[in-house]
Amino acid sequence: MPDPAAPKPSPSESTLSTPTITPGHDAEALAAKDLPLSAGGTLAPGDPVLVSSRLEEVQGWSVVHSGLQGETRYAKTDGCVVVVRVSVNQRPLVVPGDDAASTKELFRYLDPGIAVEKLKPSSLRWGQDSGKPERHVELLALESAPASGGTAALVLARLFSSPASSVYVSVACPDSGTLAKARAEVQSRLAVVPPG
Structure letter (DSSP) for residue 145 = P
> What whole-number distance in Å separates Cα of residue 74 and Cα of residue 81?
6
The pLDDT value recorded for residue 68 is 81
pLDDT at 17 over 50: no
Q: What is the pLDDT of residue 29?
A: 74
3-class DSSP state of 72: strand
Q: What is the pLDDT of residue 26?
A: 66
CA–CA separation, 40 vs 147, rounded Å? 35
Q: Which of 132, 144, 134 is nearest to 187 (CA)?
A: 134
Per-residue pLDDT reduced to its tens digit, 28-84 = 777 788 999 998 788 888 788 999 999 999 999 999 999 888 899 999 999 999 999
Q: With cut-offs at 50, 70 and 90, classify the pLDDT of residue 1.
A: low
Pairing mode, if any, of strands 136-144 and 120-126? antiparallel
Domain borders along the chain are: 45-193
Question: Greater confidence, 128 or 37?
Answer: 37
- CATH 3.90.350 matches 45-193: no
pLDDT at 12: 40
